[in-house]
Structure 1
Amino acid sequence: MDGGGQGRWQRQERLRGAWPLLVAGVAVVGVALLLAGVAMPLLVGGAPMGQRLQQADNRASVAGAVLAGGSCVALVGVWAVRKRRRAQTATAPEAADLDRAAGALAGSVLLQWKQEAALRSLDDPDPIPVGWRLAARTELMDHPANVETPAPGSTAAATGGMDPWDASSADIPALVARFRRLRRRRLVIVGGPGTGKTTLAVQLLLHLLKTRAVDEPVPVLLAATAWDPVRHPRLYTWLAARLLADYPALRAPQIGEQAIRALTAHGRVLPVLDGLDELAPSARARLITALNRSLGADDQLILISRVREFADAIEQAADVVTSAAVLTARPLPPAAAADYLQRCLPPRPGPGWQRVLAALRSTAGRAGDRSAGSPSGSSSGPSVALAQVVATPLGVWLLRAVYTAPGADPAELTDPDLFPDAGALRAHLLNNLVGALIAARPPSTDPALTPYRPRMLHDPAKAHAWLAYLAHHLSHPRRPDGAPRTRDLAWWHLARHTPRAMATTVIAAAVIGGLTLGSAGAVAYGVKGLLVAGTLGALVIGFKAEKWLGEQPGFVDLRLRRGLKPVVLVLGIATVAVLLSGVVLEPVSGLLAGIPDASTAEFAIWLMVEAVTILATLLLLGLLWWTLTWSENTFGNEHASTPMTVWHADRRLHAFRFAIIALAFGLPGLVANLQTALVGGLAFGIVGSFYAGRHHAWLAYVAATLLLARRRRLPRRLMPFLDDAHRLGLLRTVGPLYQFRHAAFQDHLAATYQPDT
């Protein structure tokens, strides 16, 4: 599309989005004028009261008839337009629509994971050279003929097997090329804890995006634990729901939900499902079965799991992942680990590092092989312990993170008295990780470094204790088998799983609601108003606050893209208000027509003014309710949702809700005096924002963090701390969720957490 066409398209989209607001504004102004016209004969002298009442009656009847007929015509027109739109929506999107949707999704995913890869230092200086091979256990993988067509003339072609894989995380282009040669491009990545499974998946995702052809599927990394096959039996329906929730830019009018649903249904999305091992055993088997039932001939897949849990899942499901190659990690040889660590050091490392590198290179290779089956290590000796730790990418990263920090002395790593085995050395590294990363990445205000540096300098001991509580909070067993609760940290779930958080939230909300509404009642009616309004506010808000803990975050969406529904709602409220005004005026004018008594005329005027005031108030409340409902939407941002963007969006929603309600109730109070306006606006703004809407996650979060900060479990400003922990590399983000950088780090913190400290 050229520049002129793009400009015309943008102007058309703006006009298309603005016309519902224009119609609503015209309707509101028209109703106000009609009400004023009906009441005008009663307020203007010069004629007997009976005649004025008759004029008001006639005007009300005509206005009611016009509004009723106009509403019927409008509703018929709305029905016809919506029927035509549904017919257009039912038409399958064209290929250009799918390409546009795929391009928008690819751009959002690439931006998201490029930033995350930089925070994880995946390419600094290069990826850790982890080796990958086909799983030695043939029962883990489908028949070779279903997975890959071997090269003509090769040994695999003669024997009916598969060509050997000699893959490395340091050569992702070669691994991606081999993946694209698979019959159906399906891959399962398995390995032990800390072997780099998720890191490899991120590397594959980024390279697939960078080299993606227009018609190739878009890889998207998602948590396997988020898919419920009972609710979404087909994988593509769940994919569409997750994409629309995590990437709200896809809901833009130029893309639309229909195109995204078609995109997933046509296999144009490559799901990268991480964390199969985090499900319960029965749920893993159900997921394998659901995958095989959902995948068509052209559907692609990448699945990540620990090897033992994956083996148990396919055994229980009595089936493998159809047409999927299964790659397993090789232990990292000590010499390869030493070479990589040397590249991360200055050209002339100190004597301590020289001693460590020499110890690794002199260690027999079989020490690394033993570590694959025994993470804690079964052999003693400093060199063997070092080799067993660095046999996984996690161990290499820990060694680098802790001992490349300023002032760290790696010479102690070869002391057998300090670290008699690999378990002791690994625990030491995990214990010192938080302090090492805080020292290595001081706060910075440089815009170029802002995404990779924390905003504040944190005390290492306090930061370690706070993260340990969160690890305990996530990993605390809730079932007899002791399975971990989750790896995902959602800030809006914090209050839900915090002891006594619900009671604290309800009590605090009830007290605030009672005091604020009671203050407004006291200004208007004195002590009685204080007692009645305060009690009412406490009860209403207290019962409402109990539901906050189960609500999801939301955000303010002021884009006019909701079609005709809000316009019909506004017109309906306005029509009812005018019709009611006619109903009120009719009997009053009939009873009082022809009566010249002045007191009766004054009563008639008062009654009509009160009726118009009540109807105007009802209209105002209806418009207020419509505004709040129309502007509230599921959380998101312009690209991919992150924990901080979701948190900011939900907080802005509460501020918007408070401002709208405070203005709606405060401005009319200016007729009396400024004090009434301020008290009424603040009181109704606070109580109304507590009660109105479907999203109050931020309020529950505030109550939980206040409670936990008072107990010294977490900082008062939790989300800024979590954001800094992510910038430090202690946490990672998956959409709007936080996770610990490695599951082993979370497990270690949870196991060493002391509730009394």
Structure 2
Amino acid sequence: MRTGWRTRRVGVLYLLLSIGGMAGALGMAVRFDLRVAETVAALLPSLGGMYLSWATFGADRREAAEGFGVAGVADRLAVAVRRQWESEARVRRLNDPYPLPVSWQAADARFGESWSLLREMARHWPDGRSAPRSAGVTESAGLAGTGGEIAEVFLERVPTRRLVVLGGPGSGKTMLLIRLLLALVAERAEGGSVPVLFPLASWNPAEQTLESWMAEQLARDYSGLGDPGTGPADRTGRVSHARALLEHRLILPILDGFDEIPAPYRAVALDAINAALPPGQPLVLSSRVTEYGDTLSPAHGVPVKLSGAAAVELRPLRAPDIADYLERDAGGQDAAAARWEPVIRLLGTDAPVARALTTPLMLFLARTVYNPRPEERAGVLPKPADLCDPTRFPDAAAVRAHLFDAYVPAAYRPHPRYPCRWSPQQAERALQYLARHLQHTLGGTTDLVWWQLRRALPSRVAQVVTGTVLGAVAWAAATVVGRLTALLAGLDSGWLTGPPAAIVAGLAGGIAGGIGCGLVAGVTGGIAEGLTHVFTTGQPEWLATTTANGLAYGFAGGIVGALSSRLAVRQPGTASGYRQGWAWDWRMCALGFTTGATLWFPYRLNYGPMAAAVGALANGTVYALAGGATGALASSLSAHRPRAIPTVRTRWAWDWRGFSTGLASGSGIGVTHWAVLRIQSLLTGMPSYTIATMLSFSCAIGLAVGIAHGLTGKPADLATSVGPVALLEQDRRIFRRLWIVVSLAIGAAFLLCYGLEYGAQGGLSYGLGRGTTDGQAISMGPPHILDRSLAYGLTVGLAAALSHNAWWCYTLTRHHLATRRQLPRDLTAFLIDAHERRGVLRQVGAVHQFRHIDLQHHLAAAGPSQESGDPLPQLPRPRIPLSPARRR
């Protein structure tokens, strides 16, 4: 199946919707001799289908025109990788004032394979691609080198081109890997393998295979590599560009930070690397010496070693190199450089300061704390001679702790060219919170991604705020827009033209945030609608009526939205998505009965107390059964709702599983509502909806929910490195476009369903006597149909956009944390400044990280775990699950 077939199916579907909607609108215009303005207004929702048809066919043509093979994708990825890491090296000041002369030597023999075995393995590679260019190196001692020689060591001296880089904390492993990566990109031939750096701290070897994790990282950091592309088809369709590159061995993995994987899982991780990257696949792995050695010689279990790899170990910096670097960074031979004389005299001795300043990390911290910036006076800075005080700093650990403590205040001291919006105290408090968030809430990961900050937001806060917004939008769309449409059409129907805001808001809230959000949205819309009617009609009973509608339809809409969301994201054919057993959810059953029984208030207004009691009992029973069964089904599925992740670009892809489950569960609202009214009609003799009206309403609701769950934004640009800020901006743009386009599509669906029924029956009725005393239905004409299309389209379209994008939850979270004085309100600007101006954070693809994991640990341990009396939000979600039941 070609890739464009999916987009053409979407275009055909929406083309049919738009044609049907336009035909229905024109038919009504001709039948009732409507004015031109009314006809044009009736045709507006159909434009959604036309736009989607054009967009999907256009995407198909662009995709066909821009198609190229996997080698072309690799070439474009190489350009993005080079640009990314050249920029990052500049931000990290790796070449300022000049590259540190980091040197290495061959590691202990136990860390790598014997030299004879390496040469023998390289001689038997099937394709010979990993054979070294030169055979001049005859033993492991030839692996020693300094600085830029690392590329020569990897390409020409290691027979298998599989290298383990070992070193102590802060010894410069990542800095050396960046140099190696840039050199390999420069040496790369067209169509060859692309070196990509993968920080291993975010890999969970107990949950993900190495291939799937690397594909996920590639798709996240390079926009478009997650798209279906060239490669063999698997069970679910074409593989992504990222997987195709991995399968064709066009990714040279540089795996950084093996020691950051939790100790119990390092042997599992190393075994998984050997299985996923067999001999013949070049790779680089970095780790601290002690952690890697413990994996090779575990207290329990079988030792594991990286197959076919040579090993080098970084050496401490030499005293002359340290002295030259500190003086050169201070400006040369002036007074600022002379401030280092007391420290330089102790270098090479056993003094605590001399033993501390032997790694690039400590050297970077020292230069940041004590060296002046351009246009900054050295006299206002602390003196490096303080580090020589044996009373204050009795050992090297005390010196290192002091440098970590002083680093953030020094990074945020007033800059002559780059003024900072945050004081050192504010910045340190925010960085400490972020470090604790990574350490405790996210289970120790190093990846600071803005779309995961939502886990610091209590779910109740998100549901209340989102539900309130959707309720207000539903009220505005159903009541205000309905009133304006009625006035334009020349009708005197007061404020009853649009659909009940509670029903619209409840459905939208359920799609956006489940049952809790549906209840809040329904009640908000119901109260707003009730107050409107109280002020316009002077009838106080309206408030209880619409609030009861909000509870009932909020619960029903929440069930539909929550259940369809879970079913839509469940992977087919996998048993891990289910829990064992089936347990009736009595809490949901009780909640359903309570919310359904509240319909006694609107029934009493329309049918009288006795009939209302019968209807409320019937409705409560049906809602109780639906709630208990739905809760049991939801609990048997995966316990986690779909995670909102950022979307980029504007190519549309149809999820047929989401559409079908949304259609089935959405139709249940209409069927349930009709069944309740039918039972009530049989018991009381009051009128009920016809089967045709039920089918029309069910199809419209089902189409709305199906479209909301079936339409998503997808990445489009290949091999373009996407930073966190660009990803946030793109996600915000996609949010707006999703809202507009899905709203138009849902409006067209409602117009089609209601228009067909209107044309077949010659008229429609609604409300069953909302506010009347004779129980008769109110006639619904073309303006009312248009109002319903607009109200459902705007509100459910907004809910779909909220459920598919991460920007909304991120916005709620940062404002919530800013109110609690834990993070700056403009968090995006703070992270940019911390990365580009202060150097406290580094950027790897689409994520931020602290400059060094030891800095993250130090900040996480500093300060209290509670601020202002509020506990740090934590979730029981370990990064390495202990059993399948605790899988992420």
The normalised TM-score by structure 1 is: 0.70
Structure 1: stretches of 5+ with no match in the other structure: 1-12, 45-81, 83-87, 89-93, 368-383, 445-453, 479-483, 578-606
- Indicate the SS of the match to 1:431: helix
Report 1:521-536 matches (<5 A).
Answer: 521-522=529-530, 523=532, 526-528=542-544, 530-536=546-552
Q: Which one of the candidate residues 673, 693, 705 is aligned to 2:814?
A: 705
Task: Verify the 8 A CA contact 1:224 1:273 in the aligned structure 2.
Answer: yes
Contact 1:430 1:748 survives alignment (8 Å)? yes
Deviation at 1:282, TM superposition (A): 2.4
Q: 1:286 to 1:17 in 2, by over 3 A?
A: closer
Corresponding residue of 1:198: 174
Partner residue in 2 for 1:333: 318
1:246 matched to 2:228: no
Match of 1:313 in 2: 295
Pairwise CA distance, 1:660 = 4.5
Which residue number corresponds to residue 324 of structure 1? 309
Moved more, 336-345 or 529-538: 529-538
How far apart in 2 are the matches of 1:723 and 1:696? 22
Give deviations 1:285-321, integer Å, cap 9, x for gaps.
Answer: 0011112222233201111111111111222341311
Q: Find the aligned partners of 1:342 and 1:471 in 2 and give their Cα distance.
A: 33
| Matched residue, 1:457 | 421
Question: Unaligned 5+ residue runs, structure 2?
Answer: 34-59, 121-131, 232-238, 470-520, 535-541, 566-638, 668-688, 752-779, 869-888
Note if contact 2:205-2:265 (Cα within 8 Å) is conserved in structure 1. Answer: no
Distance 1:693 1:364, change over 3 A: closer
Local SS of the residue matching 2:182:
helix
Counterpart of 1:473 in structure 2 is 437
Amino acid at match of 1:198: T
Aligned position for 1:626: 707
| Partner residue in 2 for 1:101 | 73
Amino acid at match of 1:558: T
Contact 2:228 2:241 in 1 (8 A): no
Q: Indicate conservation of the 8 Å contact 1:658/1:689, yes or no.
A: yes
Which residues in structure 2 correspond to 1:120-139 (within 5 Å)? 120-135=92-107, 137-139=108-110
User: Using the alignment, how far apart are the partners of 1:644 and 1:36 within structure 2?
Assistant: 44
What is the aligned partner in structure 1 of residue 650 from structure 2? 558
Contact 2:648 2:734 in 1 (8 A): yes
Query: Could you tell me how far apart the structure 1 residues matched to 2:816 and 2:716 are?
Result: 25
Q: Say if 2:456 is the partner of 1:485.
A: no
Counterpart of 2:776 in structure 1 is none
> Could you say which residue in structure 1 is the equivalent of 2:578?
none
Distance in 2 separating the partners of 1:364 and 1:415:
11
Does the Cα contact within 8 Å between 1:119 and 1:729 map onto a contact in 2? yes
Find the counterpart in structure 2 of residue 439 from structure 1: 413
Alpha-carbon separation, structure 1, partners of 2:3 and 2:212: 31
Shift in alpha-carbon separation, 1:309–1:542, aligned structure 2, 3 A = farther
TM-score norm. by structure 2 comes to 0.60
Please say if 1:387 is aligned against 2:354. Answer: yes
Partner of 1:432: helix, strand, or coil?
helix
Q: Distance in 2 between matches of 1:291 and 1:627?
A: 40
The answer as to 2:525 corresponding to 1:517 is yes
Aligned to 1:264: 246
- Does the CA contact (< 8 Å) of 1:517 and 1:683 recur in 2? no
Is the contact made by 2:743 and 2:796 (CA closer than 8 Å) also made in structure 1? no
1:410 to 371, 378, 383: 383
Distance in 2 between residues matched to 1:428 and 1:29, nearest whole Å: 68
**Structure 2 residue 283 is the aligned partner of structure 1 residue 301:** yes
Between the aligned partners of 1:359 and 1:228, the Cα distance in structure 2 is 47
In the alignment, the residues of structure 2 paired with residue 332 and residue 249 of structure 1 have an alpha-carbon distance, to the nearest angstrom, of 42
Structure 2 CA distance, aligned partners of 1:611 and 1:258?
45
Change (3 A) 1:123 1:441: farther
Tell me, yes or no, if the aligned pair for 2:172 and 2:361 is still in contact at 8 Å: yes
Q: Which position in structure 1 is the counterpart of 2:39?
A: none
CA-to-partner distance for each residue in 1:391-413, whole Å, 9 max, x for gaps? Answer: 00011101111122333243443
Secondary structure of 1:108's counterpart equals: helix
Q: Report the Cα offset of residue 616 of structure 1.
A: 9.8
Separation of aligned partners in 2, 1:365 and 1:213: 44
State the AA in 2 paired with 1:362: R
Q: Residues 672, 362 of structure 1: CA spacing in aligned structure 2 closer, same or farther, 3 A cutoff?
A: farther
Kindly provide the amino acid, as one letter, of the partner of residue 185 in structure 2: L
1:495–1:549 CA contact under 8 A, matched in 2: no
Match of 2:852 in 1: 742
1:703-734: CA deviations, max 9, x gaps? 43343323322222323322221222111122
Percent pairwise identity: 29
SS at match of 2:817: helix
Measure the CA separation in 2 of the matches of 1:613 and 1:163: 82
Structure 1 residue 238, shift from structure 2 partner: 4.1
The superposition leaves residues 100-145 of structure 1 with CA deviations (integer Å, 9 ceiling, x where unpaired) of 121022122222222211111111122211211111x321111122
Please, which of 716, 732, 735 is the counterpart of residue 651 of structure 1?
732
Q: Establish whether residue 506 from structure 1 lines up as the match of residue 463 from structure 2.
A: yes
Q: Relative to structure 1, is the Cα distance of residues 424 and 23 closer, same or farther in structure 2, using a 3 angstrom cutoff?
A: same
Seen in structure 2, the aligned counterparts of structure 1 residues 495 and 262 have a Cα distance that, compared at 3 Å, is closer
Residues 534-613 of structure 1: pairs in structure 2 closer than 5 A: 534-536=550-552, 539=555, 551-555=643-647, 557-559=649-651
Query: Contact 2:527–2:543 at 8 Å: present in 1 too?
Result: no
> Which string of whole-angstrom CA distances, capped at 9 and with x for unpartnered residues, describes residues 580-629 of structure 1?
xxxxxxxxxxxxxxxxxxxxxxxxxxx99x97998599569737843763
CA RMSD of aligned residues (A): 4.7
Distance in 1 (CA, whole Å) between partners of 2:832 and 2:795 is 29
Amino acid at match of 1:551: R
Q: Which amino acid aligns with 1:518?
A: G
Question: What is the CA deviation profile of residues 3-60 of structure 1, one whole-angstrom value per residue up to 9, with x for unaligned ones?
Answer: xxxxxxxxxx99999866764565345434665798799769xxxxxxxxxxxxxxxx
* 8 Å Cα contact 1:253/1:561 also seen in 2: no
- Higher RCO by CA contacts (8 Å cutoff, separation 6 or greater): 1
Report the equivalent of 1:110: 82
Residue number in structure 1 paired with 2:579:
none
TM-superposed CA distance for 1:219, in Å, is: 0.8
- Residues 472, 103 of structure 1: CA spacing in aligned structure 2 closer, same or farther, 3 A cutoff? same
Q: Distance in 1 between matches of 2:31 and 2:176?
A: 80
For residues 725 and 348 of structure 1, the distance between their equivalents in structure 2, rounded to whole angstroms, comes to: 31
After superposition, residues 217-236 of structure 1 pair within 5 angstroms as 217-229=193-205, 232-233=208-209, 235-236=210-211
Counterparts of 2:786 and 2:27, CA distance in 1: 29
Q: Distance in 2 between matches of 1:645 and 1:253?
A: 22
- Alignment counterpart, residue 163 of structure 1, candidates 137, 141, 165: 141
* Aligned counterparts of 2:353 and 2:422: Cα–Cα separation in 1: 30
Would you say the 8 A contact 1:506–1:542 is kept in 2?
no
